[in-house]
Amino acid sequence: MELKDYLRFVGRWWWLMGLTAAAAATLAFAITSRETPIYAATTKLLVNQNQGQFAQPKTTFDELRVRERLAQTYIELLRSRPVMERAIADLNLNMRPRTLAGKIDAEAVGGTELILVTVHDPDPRRAETMANAVVVAFQALERDLLANPFASESSLVVVELALATISPVSPNIPRTLIIALVLGLFIAMLIGFLRDFFDDTMSGGGDMQRRTGYLPAATVGNIGGPSKLITSRDPYHATSESYRMLRMHLDAFPSERALQTIVITSPNPRDGKSTTAANLAIAMAQTGRSVILVDADLREPTLHKLFGQENTSGVCNLLVQGGACSSLATYLRPTQIDRLRLLPAGVVNFHPAQLLGSEPLVALVDALKAEADLIIFDTPALLSVVDASLILRAADAALLVVGAGVSRGADVLRAYANLEQLGVSILGIVLNKARVALRPGQSHYSWLHSKAAKGGDAPPSARESDTAKPRA
């Protein structure tokens, strides 16, 4: 993965990271704040080299290792049961030897002959008393523990008496909070990674390329506002520019013959194919071409709602009449966009697959070709019903619309394979409803939009970008 992939990952899951880290820190603080404060008292001991049968000073490497083993021996003896029982008896503690041993940590200081004995207890003064009492108990029992009844001095010399810490050593709230934050971030990243690994849906062009191997011909953001016809409603919006870039892609598509009939379909419902078909048709009509937008989704027609038209008659009526109807023009509804007409789906009285699979469909397509420069068909989802496949047999090319967060990578691959199997020219894939970051030049369009909203004139470059404008 590249750095930008990691940044995209953080950008997608920052909210989960923050939420999990905050929850882990809050929980850790709630738990540690209820814990009993523990203080530590440490005494420093020196191993007396003149005592003990194993403690004669030597200079060889082997004897240095013997000294280290001797220091470890003293550490174990300091926490032995007889020493614990003697210290408990001396202090008159109501405590088991194992409990006292659990409070004691003893370690040798590396490179020296010093031993540190630390006792942890909620009472700092008692911790000091127990640490000193353990040393005294060991010294009293040393001859028996080391089997050296002739020793005149103790093998351990007290260098520093035990002194308790001023502040508790446990719980360490700052350290606990840092660990909790790191752990919360790790858990969030793990959840995000597993979610991305098992979730096959796409949120951007990088996801599509990673999951399908295809780059989108155009990436369109999610359209807000009451009207989905953003190319007409807000021509200076970045999404409108995305549709114009899609138009340029289709115009530059290499083909042996002119593309006059284009089918807009998608792998699954709710991918946004109808919105894409409508805005693409507007973008095409704005270049001066005569465009007919056909609502061939006979199962769930939508285009008449987008353009504020009735759906009393349309494709179904023409197919029943044989397709090549002399009164075709009467079924074509003018829209608020110059040179763009709509052919609604009409009321379905027969099974859609029977109507679309008949010869009248070919006759209807031929009749529409005689009426306009470009015909755009909005069809049902390719993987849901057979309707789109039937219409594709009479069309020049197909454009696949994939909804970000709707269709999975496997669905895109299946739909693309179906189009290839049908032998139709594939114009590309439109990634719809994507999270689109503003590119450097798109702030220019925001300025144009603001200028137009205030009644100002757009610059000549913007006025000349389209040869036809929506009607007032």
- Domain extents for the chain? 3-34+172-198, 39-164, 208-462
Residue 465 has pLDDT above 50, yes or no: no
Q: In what order do the strands lie in the sheet with 39-47?
A: 104-108, 114-121, 39-47, 156-164
Look up the CATH number of domain 208-462. Answer: 3.40.50.300
Q: What is the pLDDT of residue 47?
A: 83
Q: Which range has the worst mean pLDDT, 45-49, 414-418, 446-450?
A: 446-450
Which residue has 């909203």 as its token pair?
453
Q: How many CB atoms are closer than 10 A to CB 64? A: 11
Nearest-angstrom CA–CA distance, 145 and 147 = 6
Q: How many CB atoms are closer than 10 A to CB 101? A: 16
Nearest-angstrom CA–CA distance, 120 and 104 = 7
Residue 184 has pLDDT above 80, yes or no: yes
Give how far Cα 85 sits from Cα of 90, 138, 141, 240, 420, Å.
Answer: 9, 11, 11, 85, 86
Residue 445 has pLDDT above 90, yes or no: no
Q: What is the pLDDT of residue 435?
A: 73
Nearest-angstrom CA–CA distance, 234 and 333 = 23
pLDDT in tens, 416-441: 999 999 999 999 999 998 876 555 45
pLDDT in tens, 392-403: 999 999 999 998
pLDDT in tens, 18-46: 999 999 999 999 998 899 999 999 999 98
Can you identify the CATH homologous superfamily of domain 39-164?
Answer: FepE-like (3.30.1890.10)
Position with higher pLDDT, 49 vs 448: 49
Residue 469 has pLDDT above 50, yes or no: no
Evaluate the omega torsion of the peptide bond into residue 360 and state whether it is cis, within 30 degrees of 0. no
pLDDT in tens, 89-135: 999 999 999 999 999 999 988 877 889 999 999 999 999 999 999 99
Give how far Cα 149 sits from Cα of 53, 54, 134, 153, 448, Å.
Answer: 11, 14, 20, 11, 101
3-state secondary structure of 93: coil
3-state secondary structure of 25: helix
Nearest-angstrom CA–CA distance, 2 and 279 = 35
208-462 and 39-164 share a CATH fold: no
Which residue has 């659990």 as its token pair?
102
- Would strands 291-295 and 374-378 be described as parallel, antiparallel, or unpaired? parallel
Q: What is the pTM of this model?
A: 0.62
Q: Which of 233, 237, 231, 236 is nearest to 463 (CA)?
A: 236
